[in-house]
Amino acid sequence: MNTPTILDEAARILRERNGAYGEPAECMAAVAARWSTTLGVPVTPAQVVLCMIDLKLARLAHDPGHHDSALDVIGYAALLGEVCP
C-alpha cells in the first residue's frame, strides 16, 4: 500500500472512531483519568496516546507487516496534536 492510500485510510478510520467514541481529546482525557486511578499516579491524555503508540509498536516488532497496527500508529500519532496543550 502506498503512502497516500494508507494516510487516506487512517483519516477514514479516525473519522469513524470520532463518530463512535466522540472527540479524541475528551476520550483520551477519560482514559487518562481511569489509568490515573488504576496506576495511582497522574496520567495525561498525551501519555495515553504515547502509550497506545508504544503498544502498537511492540506489536509491529512482532509482526512488522501487520497493517492494522501500522494504521493505528498513524492514527494515534495524528491524535497527539489534539490532546497536547
Reported as a single tens digit per residue, the pLDDT across 27-83 is: 999 999 999 999 999 999 999 999 999 999 999 999 998 889 999 999 999 999 889
Full domain range(s) for residue 73? 3-83
- CB burial readout 45-76, b (16+ within 10 A) else e: bbbbbeebbeebeebeeeeeeeeebbbbbbbb
The verdict on pTM exceeding 0.85 is: yes
* Number of independent structural domains in the chain: 1
Q: Is the four-CA dihedral 43, 73, 62, 59 of positive or negative sign? A: positive
